Amino acid sequence: MDTHDVDVVVVGCGIAGLSAAMTAAEHGARVAVLERAPEDERGGNTRYTESFWRMQSEDAVSEDFEDRFAANSGGWPDPGILQDAVRDRDNQPAVLRSLSVVDPEIVATLAEEAPKALKWLKGFGVKFDFLPLYFLSQSTTRMGPIGGGLALIEALGKAAEARAEQITFHYETAARDLITDDLGQVRGVTAVTRG
């Protein structure tokens, strides 16, 4: 059994995983990225998506961003559950945690941070443009990376590989379990590599 000592373990090599790995490395962390797929298939679902953003420009999300996001995610919370919904997630009733209810603060933060995230991705050479859609109707323009989600994976993957002293990739490796200490804090993961 091999043991690796790192500061951060990222499970998955899609846009979220690569973004987490790059951000951690930018802050000085040593990172291990576990990816179940072989290297030439990395990227999870991101590699197959167009990765459209509801943006009216590189600096602003669409005017209907928050309402459309809520509508596509199950809607805003019923006023009857607001008293429970304002509690921190750990103290919410289990039935509330299981519902597809949008947290307005998270949606507002997403809307506020989206232009910054787009600029961050452009720093890795990703080019964005308003792209044609394959929808019968369109309520807003859609911006996306030229080359779709695969362009995101390739750009961030290349940048992460350039930080080989900080970021190591473990392909065909699946995380199996969390390693916790006596207080229940996560201290690592166990993983299995194919072959």
Return the minimum-mean-pLDDT range out of 59-68, 79-88, 120-129, 133-142.
Answer: 133-142
Residue 179 near residue 186, CB atoms below 8 Å: yes
What pLDDT is stored for residue 184 in this prediction?
A: 94
**Of the ranges 51-60, 95-104, 147-156, which one carries the lowest mean pLDDT score?**
95-104
Residue 97 · residue 74 · CB < 8 Å: no
Q: Please, what are the domains in the chain?
A: 1-52+142-195 (3.50.50.60), 57-116+132-141 (no CATH)
pLDDT at 80: 73
Strand partners, 192: 174
Task: Tell me the three-class secondary structure of the chain, residue by residue.
Answer: CCCCCCCEEEECCCHHHHHHHHHHHHCCCCEEEEECCCHHHCCHHHHHCCCCECEEECCEECCCHHHHHHHHCCCCCCHHHHHHHCCCHHHCCHHHHHCCCCCHHHHHHHHHHHHHHHHHHHCCCCCEEECCCCCCCCCCCCEEECCHHHHHHHHHHHHHHCCCCCEEEEECEEEEEEEECCCCCEEEEEEEECC
Compare 63 and 119 and report the one with higher pLDDT. 119
Which phi-psi region, left, alpha or beta, contains residue 29 (left: φ > 0; alpha: ψ -120 to 50)?
A: beta
Position 64 scores a pLDDT of 85
> To the nearest whole percent, how much of the chain has pLDDT over 70?
91
pLDDT tens, residue by residue, 9-22: 999 999 999 999 99
The whole-number average pLDDT for the span 74-101 is 73
Q: Identify the pLDDT of residue 135.
A: 67
Give me 39's structure tokens.
Answer: 């290297």
Residue 141 makes CB contacts below 8 A (sequence gap 6+) with: 55, 56, 62, 130
Whole-model pTM: value is 0.82
What is the pLDDT confidence band of residue 75, given thresholds at 50, 70 and 90? low
Q: Report the pLDDT value the prediction gives residue 117, as an integer from 0 to 100.
A: 96
Confidence check: pLDDT of 138 > 90: no
Do the Cβ atoms of 85 and 101 come closer than 8 Å? Answer: yes
